[in-house]
Amino acid sequence: MATSSQIKVLAFAGSLRSGSLNKKLVHAAARLARQGGAEVTIADLRDLDLPMYDGDLEDAGGIPQGALQLKQLMASHDALLIACPEYNSSITGALKNAIDWASRQAPGEAPLESFKGKLGALVSASPGNFGGLRGMLATRAILEHLGVLVIPEQFAVARAHEAFDDAGNLKDPRQSAGVQNVVSRLLATAQKLKG
């Protein structure tokens, strides 16, 4: 059970693929957050079964169960830790779709309740030399527009197809330290905001 001072972090990757490098990264970051004393829940967007956002679908049947589950997860955690893949120099369709559904207002809910006042941290992984940086920057802009306080620290794991050992840990101490810096700052900031 979480203590009153324990930070609750919702961690997920913006990719659906089972072998996703960003899923590996979010698991590595989650381990570091747990070592830092946080309670971490890892969500998989594929498990939420989110249809593509369609206003007609919402009008006909309301917000789908997977989207309501995501909104509940976001509401019950202090912070979001997101691994952001880069598709064609921007955010992935899966991550944008999840954000779009979570932004929909459920009955009895304030506008953007899942996002406003939430703390966020971003990491990314890519086989390329930039490590998915452009996807991370696009995600930051969207989240900040929705009211998330995204910490300035971020880290992109370049050449990520070579970055992980068989246990899913980052092999390069500099990359591991970069992710650790993001996680540590997220937890420290969340603790200050929690008072």
Q: Please give the domain boundaries of the chain with CATH numbers for all domains.
A: 8-194 (3.40.50.360)
What's the CA gap between 40 and 49, in Å, rounded?
21
pLDDT in tens, 6-17: 999 999 999 999
68 to 3, 65, 83: CA distances (angstroms): 26, 5, 21
Q: Mean pLDDT over all residues of the chain?
A: 94
The pLDDT of residue 38: 97
pLDDT above 70 as % of the chain? 98
pLDDT in tens, 143-183: 999 999 999 999 999 999 999 999 999 999 999 999 999 99
Global pTM value: 0.94
Answer yes or no: are the C-beta atoms of 179 and 148 closer than 8 Å. Answer: no
How many CB atoms neighbour CB 60 within 10 A?
8
The pLDDT of residue 3: 45
What confidence tier does 2 reach under pLDDT thresholds 50, 70, 90?
A: very low
Give the distance, in angstroms, between the CA of residue 155 and the centroid of all CA atoms in the same chain: 13
Residue (of 36, 191, 29, 46) closest to 123 by Cα position = 29
